[in-house]
Structure 1
Amino acid sequence: MEGNVVLITENLMKLLALIIFSGVIFAKIGKKVHMPDVVFFILAGIIVGPSVLNLVNFDQYPVANQLILVFGASYILYDGGREISLKVLNEVKLSVGMLSTVGVLISTFITGFFAYKVLHIDFMYALLLGSVIASTDPSVLVPLFKNMNINPKLKQTIISESAFNDAAGAIITFAIIGIVSGGSFSLGHSIIDLLKEAGGGVLVGGIIGYIATLLVSESKFGLLKGYAGEIAVVAVLLAYFTAVRFGFSGFMAVFIIGMVCGNKETCKLSAIEEESYDLHLKFKEVLISILRIMIFVLLGIQMNFDILSKYFGGALIIVIGFIFVARPVSVFFSVILDRKASWNFREIAYLMWTRETGVIPAALAGMIISMKVQHADIISAVTSMAIIITIGVQASTAKYFAKVLKLDIDDYKKEK
C-alpha cells in the first residue's frame, strides 16, 4: 500500500512537471505569434495528452484533476473580484444581474433549440446541452480583461458576469438532469435555489473576506499582518469549502472575497502594509500564471477527439448558432432595459462578442459523462467544440475588436 502511494505521488509530480513545462514553452510560442496564451496552453495539452504523444494522462488522478480545476478557477475568480470597483459595479448591477440569470436562460433555450434541430435528440437533452455551455468562463476572462485597456464599466461587467453566472448555469443544468432522470421541475424552487446559492455565497465571501483582510491590515486587529498572500490562499480555500458545504456557490464566495479586498475603503477596512502588499501581488501573479497553465493544459489533455470527430459537423453548427444567435439575443434582452448603465451600440456589440467557454462547462460535461446521462457523448463533443472555438477565436480577437470599436479608456473619457 505504501509503495503504491509513493509511486502515485512520483508519477503525479512527473505529470505536473510536464504540464507546467509544456505550458511555459507554448506560452513563449504564443507571444511570438501574438495570440492569447490560453489557446497555446490547450494546444500543449492536446499534444502531450492521449490524443497525440500520450505523455500525460490524468484519468488515474481524478482528485488531483478536480483540485487543480476548482482551486485554480477559485483563485482566479478571487483575483477578478479584486479588479471590481463597487462604485462602477453599482452603475451596471442590473445588467450584470440580468446577464447572469435571464441571459443564461435565454442562451440555454436558443442553443437547445439549435441542438434539437441539428442533432435530432429529445428537446430536454438538447436543453441540457444548452445549459452546460451557457455560462462564461472566469479563468479566461479575468486574466484577459484585467490587462486590457478598455473602459471600466465594460471590463467590470464582463468580469462580474463570469463570476455570477456559474450559479445560474449549474442550477439550470441540475434541474434538467432531474427532469430527464424522472423527476419534476418547479420554477419557484429553482428561483429559490438560485437566490440561496448566490446569496449564501455573497454572505460567506463577505464574512470571510472581511475577517481575512482585517487580520492582515495595519489596524489593531492585524494579528497576521505581513502574511497577506498566505491568508488570501487560506481565505479562498475556506470560503469555497464553507459555501459548498452549506449548499451555496463557492465561486460566488471567492469572488466576493476579492471584492472586499479590492474595496477596503468602501468596506471601512485599514490598508495592508506596503511591503506585504507588494509581496502578495508578486506571489499572486506567479501563482495565477501556474494555475492557468495547469487548468488549460488539462483541458487540452481531456479533449476527446474520437467523440468530437463523430459529431464534428453538428457540433460546429450548434456552436456557430451559440455565438452568433444565442449570445447576441441574450445580451440584447439583458441590457436593453438598464437605463442607468447607458450602454451604447459599440459596448453592446462588444458584450455580444465576449463569452468564452472553459472550465465550468467542461466540469459540468465531465459530471454528465460520469453520471451516464443519455447523450452525454454529444454534450461532451459540443462543449469541447465551444471551448476550442470561443477561446481560439473570441479570446484571440478581444483586444483587436475593442480597438475597432474604440472602447479603450481614452475614448471612454472623451465620451464622459
Structure 2
Amino acid sequence: MENTVEAIATNNLLLIFAAIAITGIVLGRLSEIIKVPDVILYLIAGIIIGPAVLNLISIQAFPVENNLILTFGSAFILYEGGREINLKVLNKVKLSVGMLATVGVIISAGIVGLFAGKIFGLPIMTALLLGSVVASTDPAALIPVFKQVPIKDKIKQTVVSESAFNDAVGAILVSTLLGVVTSGHLSIGKSIEELVVATVVGVGVGIVMGYVFSVLISDKKWGVFHSYAPIMSILKVALAYEIAVLLHGSGYMAVFIAGLIAGNKKMFGLWVPEYDFHSEHNFRENIGSLCRMGIFVVLGTQVNLEALAKYWAPALIVVLVLMFIARPIVVLVSTSFDKNAKWTFKEKLFMMWVRETGVIPAALSGIIVSMKLPGYEIISSVVFMTILVTLIVQASTTKFVAKKLGVLEEDNNDKTKITA
C-alpha cells in the first residue's frame, strides 16, 4: 500500500510540509534575532534546498501541491492585507490607489518592455509581455514586511491596496499580450471587458462573502457560528476565491475585499464575542505565518540558477530600470492627480522604494515557461532576478528608508509627545 502512486504523493506532500515548516520556524526565529524580514530568509532557504543547490525538494515535480501552496497562500495573505485596511483612510487615497493599480501597471509594463526589448533584442510584443509580468507589486511580499515595520497608515494602506488591485490588472495585461504573441491579434475591447468583469465580479463576491461571514460570526441573532470563527476565516477565503473565479472574476480581488469588509465590520454594527475574536485572531496569525513560509520557500525552489547565470547581467539592468526609472515615474504620475491625499515629497519617495515582486509575477512567469514561448528563459530569468533583488534589497531596507524619510508610525507618536 505504501508504494502506490497515491501513497507516494501523500508522503511527498507531508515531506514538503515538514521541510517548509521546519525551515520556516528556524529562519523565522533567526530573522527576529538579526532583524531581517523573514521572507528574504525563506526565499534564500528555498534556493538552497531546491534543485538549484542541494536538490532536497523539487516541488516542480508536484504541480498540484505547488499550485495549492501558491494560490491559497497568496489568497490568505491578501485576505489578511484587506483586514489591515481602514475604509476611512482608504477613502482619502482612493484616486492614488486607482491610478497606481491601473495606469501605473501600464506605465511600468511599457517602460520595462521598451528597455528589455533593446537590452535583450526581443520582439516588441515579447518585450512588453516581459514588462507586464513584472509590472504588478506583490501583497504577499509587502504585507509581511509592513507587519514588522510600522509605516504611517496612509502610506501602508495605499501601497497594500495598490498591490491587491494591480494583480488583476497585471494578469489581464499578460493574458492580452499572450494572445497577441501566440495568435498575432490584439483586441483592446476584449481586454477592457475582461478587466471590468474581473473587477466588478471580484469586488461583488468579496463584499457578499465578507458581509455574510461577518454576520454569521457576530453577536447578532444570525451569528450562530461565532464559536467557529477561526474555521470560518479559512472557509471565507476559499469560497470567495473559488466563487469569483467560477464567475470569471478576480479571485485575489475577491479575497482582498472580503478581508476589507471583515476588518471594518464595526462600521456595519457587527461585533464578534471577545473570546472568539481572540481565538480567530491567533488562528489567522498562525495560518498567515505558515502561508508566508510556504510561498517564499516554494518560490526559492523554483529559481533557475542556470538561466540566471546566463542572463544575470542584462536581467539586473532591467530590474534597475524597473526600480529607478519605471517606479518613480509611476508614483509621480499616479499621485499628481490626487490633491486630497496631500502627499509629501518624502512620502512619494518612500512609495517609489517599496514595490516588491513575488508570487503573482512568478505564477505568470510559470505559465509562460510551461507554454515554451520564444524568449521564455529570458522572461523567467528577469522575473526571478526581480524577485530576488526587490526582496533582498528593498524589503530588507524598508525600515531604514522609512526612518530616514520620517514615515514610521512611531515618528508621529514622538512628534505628538513633543508637541503635547
Q: TM-score, normalised by structure 1?
A: 0.97
Name 2:97's counterpart in structure 1. 96
Letter in 2 for 1:121: L
Letter in 2 for 1:360: I
Name 2:328's counterpart in structure 1. 328
- Helix, strand or coil at the partner of 2:226: coil
Name 1:235's counterpart in structure 2. 236
- Tell me the distance in 1 between the aligned counterparts of 2:185 and 2:359: 28
- Helix, strand or coil at the partner of 2:227: coil
- Tell me the distance in 2 between the aligned counterparts of 1:272 and 1:26: 34
- Tell me the distance in 2 between the aligned counterparts of 1:182 and 1:5: 39
Q: Tell me if structure 1 keeps the 8 A contact 2:149–2:398.
A: no
Q: Give deviations 1:135-168, integer Å, cap 9, x for gaps.
A: 1111111121134322111010011011000011
Q: Give deviations 1:307-362, integer Å, cap 9, x for gaps.
A: 11111111011001110001111111111110010101000001111100000000
- Tell me the distance in 2 between the aligned counterparts of 1:149 and 1:67: 31
Name 1:152's counterpart in structure 2. 153
Letter in 1 for 2:347: E
Q: Give deviations 1:71-95, integer Å, cap 9, x for gaps.
A: 0000111111111111000000000
Indicate yes or no: 2:298 matched with 1:293: no
Of stretches 25-34 and 272-281 in structure 1, the one that deviates more from structure 2 is 25-34
Deviation at 1:411, TM superposition (A): 4.3
- Tell me the distance in 2 between the aligned counterparts of 1:334 and 1:113: 20
Deviation at 1:410, TM superposition (A): 4.9
Letter in 2 for 1:250: G
Superposition map of 1:121-200 within 5 A: 121-200=122-201
Specify whether residues 410 and 246 from structure 1 end up closer, same or farther in structure 2 by C-alpha distance, changes over 3 A only. same
- Tell me the distance in 2 between the aligned counterparts of 1:220 and 1:34: 46
Deviation at 1:34, TM superposition (A): 1.8
Name 1:306's counterpart in structure 2. 306
- Tell me the distance in 1 between the aligned counterparts of 2:147 and 2:271: 22
Superposition map of 1:23-172 within 5 A: 23-172=24-173
- Tell me the distance in 1 between the aligned counterparts of 2:405 and 2:76: 31
Name 1:357's counterpart in structure 2. 357
Q: Give deviations 1:198-225, integer Å, cap 9, x for gaps.
A: 1110000100111111011000111211
Indicate yes or no: 2:24 matched with 1:20: no
Q: TM-score, normalised by structure 2?
A: 0.96
Q: Tell me if structure 2 keeps the 8 A contact 1:82–1:263.
A: yes
Name 2:386's counterpart in structure 1. 386
- Tell me the distance in 1 between the aligned counterparts of 2:243 and 2:181: 30
- Tell me the distance in 2 between the aligned counterparts of 1:147 and 1:88: 20
Q: Tell me if structure 2 keeps the 8 A contact 1:210–1:260.
A: yes
Q: Tell me if structure 2 keeps the 8 A contact 1:101–1:168.
A: yes
User: Structure 1 stretches of 5 or more lacking a match?
Assistant: none
Q: Tell me if structure 2 keeps the 8 A contact 1:205–1:253.
A: yes
Letter in 2 for 1:382: V
- Tell me the distance in 2 between the aligned counterparts of 1:170 and 1:372: 18
Letter in 1 for 2:150: N
Q: Give deviations 1:359-383, integer Å, cap 9, x for gaps.
A: 0000000001111211111100000
- Tell me the distance in 2 between the aligned counterparts of 1:222 and 1:374: 54
Indicate yes or no: 2:193 matched with 1:220: no
Q: Tell me if structure 2 keeps the 8 A contact 1:357–1:390.
A: yes
Q: Tell me if structure 1 keeps the 8 A contact 2:137–2:163.
A: yes
Letter in 2 for 1:94: L
- Helix, strand or coil at the partner of 1:227: helix
- Helix, strand or coil at the partner of 2:254: helix
Letter in 2 for 1:232: S
Name 2:376's counterpart in structure 1. 376
Specify whether residues 210 and 89 from structure 1 end up closer, same or farther in structure 2 by C-alpha distance, changes over 3 A only. same
- Tell me the distance in 1 between the aligned counterparts of 2:45 and 2:25: 9
- Tell me the distance in 2 between the aligned counterparts of 1:410 and 1:147: 13
Q: Tell me if structure 2 keeps the 8 A contact 1:83–1:146.
A: no
Deviation at 1:183, TM superposition (A): 4.0
Q: Tell me if structure 1 keeps the 8 A contact 2:213–2:232.
A: yes
Equivalent pairs counted in the alignment come to 415
Letter in 2 for 1:222: G
- Helix, strand or coil at the partner of 1:226: helix
Name 1:283's counterpart in structure 2. 283
Letter in 2 for 1:66: N
- Tell me the distance in 1 between the aligned counterparts of 2:409 and 2:31: 26
Q: Tell me if structure 2 keeps the 8 A contact 1:316–1:385.
A: yes
Name 1:342's counterpart in structure 2. 342
Q: Tell me if structure 1 keeps the 8 A contact 2:47–2:300.
A: yes
Q: Give deviations 1:238-260, integer Å, cap 9, x for gaps.
A: 01001011110000000011111
- Tell me the distance in 2 between the aligned counterparts of 1:274 and 1:13: 35
Letter in 2 for 1:400: F
Indicate yes or no: 2:404 matched with 1:395: no
Deviation at 1:177, TM superposition (A): 0.6
User: Structure 2 stretches of 5 or more lacking a match?
Assistant: none
Q: Tell me if structure 2 keeps the 8 A contact 1:202–1:252.
A: yes
The CA RMSD over aligned residues, in Å, is 1.5
Instruction: Determine what percentage of the aligned residue pairs are the same residue.
Output: 47
